[in-house]
């Protein structure tokens, strides 16, 4: 039966030990283990190890190495159980080992999906412009259960979400001054939908944003859009030109009255 002949501390990692054994042909390097595994199995010079013992030691050391990998991953920020599992799987760690690591992480409270979800919602609320719908989707992708997601979303008050939506509308409206009021409203709705706000929040946010333009502002926006369209249709016969211009500007949300007013004064 193989016998341990020497145990030395690794130079680059003081928490790991090199085990040397005699398998019948003299001393040779056999394997390395974490300090916890060394203590758990009471490894020492002169100890004989059979095949089963070697297998057990290897399994427990795999768990310890994977556990250390998980702790290092968690040290950067909080993670969900699913994220940790995925990270370990990407390191080609076997599923039984991952399961043992997850159990140990919960035991020592390094993993806590409910607290992770609540912290995630608070962070997104304070540092991003996302609505609760998008945050829900991101939590789902991280493997958080629907029940825990519902509890976590409570961290995002409706008033705070509405305030975020209004600020987004105001900021976007300033960039879209050359759009018609109708198209501006549509683009704001689409933007807020992409950000994960629900219909009720969207409608209230838009109602509190100054969207309707004065007639001179709307006409200025029409003229800007018309100038772009003219480059496309200017060479057409007069009747066809006006029809194309009407269709183009109507699709861009301008009223027929304002379009007619513009075309009446237009000189191509």
Q: What is the pTM assigned to this prediction?
A: 0.73
What are the Cα distances from residue 87, in Å, to 54, 59, 70, 97, 142? 27, 19, 8, 13, 12
Cα first-last separation, the chain: 101
User: What mean pLDDT value characterizes the chain?
Assistant: 90
Please tell me the predicted confidence (pLDDT) of residue 54: 94
**What's the CATH number of domain 3-107, 3.40.50.300, 1.20.1560.10, 1.10.150.130, 1.10.10.10?**
1.10.10.10
What mean pLDDT is predicted for residues 187-194? 94
Q: What is the mean pLDDT of residues 119-125?
A: 96
CA distance 87 to 79: 10
Model confidence at 268, in pLDDT bands (50, 70, 90)? very low
Model confidence pLDDT, tens digit, residues 128-162:
999 999 999 999 999 999 999 999 999 999 999 99
Four-residue CA torsion sign, 71, 76, 82, 85 = negative
Tell me the pairing of strands 16-22 and 3-9.
Answer: antiparallel
Q: Which two tokens stand for residue 251?
A: 């699709």
Q: Where are the alpha helices (DSSP H) in 43-111?
A: 51-74, 81-90, 95-107
What is the residue whose two structure tokens read 């409203």?
A: 185
Q: Using the predicted structure, report yes or no on whether residue 165 has a pLDDT greater than 90.
A: yes
How far is residue 183 CA from its own chain's centroid? 30
Q: Check if CATH label 3.40.50.300 holds for domain 113-153.
A: no
**Partners of 31 in the β-ladder:** 19
Rounded to an integer, the average pLDDT of 7-15 is 92
**Would you kindly state where each structural domain of the chain is located, as residue ranges?**
3-107, 113-153, 158-207, 216-265
Tell me the per-residue pLDDT of 17-33, one tens digit each, with 9 for 90 and over: 999 999 988 999 999 99
**pLDDT at 263 (0 to 100):** 79
* Residue whose structure tokens are 């398998």: 23
Q: What is the pLDDT of residue 230?
A: 81
- Torsion angle (degrees, nearest 10) of CA 134, 135, 138, 140: -100
pLDDT of residue 233: 79
Matching CATH topology for 113-153 and 158-207?
Answer: yes
CATH number for the region 158-207 comes to 1.10.10.10
Q: For residue 72, give every residue at least 6 positions away whose Cβ sits within 8 Å of its Cβ, in sequence order, or none.
A: none
**Token representation of residue 158:** 């409706």
CB atoms within 10 A of CB 48: 11
Give the three-class secondary structure for 181.
helix
The rounded distance, in Å, linking the Cα atoms of 176 and 221 is 9
CB 7 within 8 A of CB 28: no
Q: Please report the pLDDT score of residue 30 as a whole number.
A: 94
The helix (H) or strand (E) run that includes residue 21 is: strand 16-22
């Amino acid at each position: 039966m193989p016998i341990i002949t020497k145990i030395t501390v690794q130079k680059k990692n003081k928490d790991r030990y090199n085990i040397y054994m005699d398998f019948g042909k003299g001393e040779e390097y056999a394997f390395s283990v974490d300090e916890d595994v060394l203590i758990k199995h009471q490894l020492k010079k002169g100890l004989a190890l059979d095949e089963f013992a070697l297998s057990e030691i290897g399994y427990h050391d795999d768990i310890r190495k994977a556990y250390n990998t998980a702790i290092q991953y968690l040290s950067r920020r909080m993670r969900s159980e699913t994220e940790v599992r995925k990270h370990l799987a990407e390191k080609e760690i076997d599923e039984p080992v991952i399961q043992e690591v997850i159990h140990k992480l919960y035991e020592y409270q390094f993993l806590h999906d409910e607290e992770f979800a609540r912290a995630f919602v608070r962070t997104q609320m304070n540092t991003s412009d996302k609505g609760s719908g998008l945050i829900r989707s991101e939590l789902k992708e991280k493997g958080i259960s629907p029940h825990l997601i519902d509890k976590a979303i409570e961290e995002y008050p409706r008033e705070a979400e509405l305030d975020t939506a209004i600020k987004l509308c105001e900021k976007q409206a300033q960039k879209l001054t050359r759009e018609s009021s109708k198209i501006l409203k549509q683009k704001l709705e689409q933007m807020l939908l992409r950000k994960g706000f629900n219909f009720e929040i969207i409608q209230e946010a838009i109602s509190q944003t100054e969207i309707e333009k004065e007639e001179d502002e709307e006409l200025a926006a029409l003229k800007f859009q018309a100038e772009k369209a003219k480059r496309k249709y200017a060479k057409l016969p007069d009747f066809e030109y006006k029809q194309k211009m009407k269709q183009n500007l109507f699709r861009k949300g301008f009223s027929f009255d304002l379009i007619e007013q513009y075309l009446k004064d237009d000189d191509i």
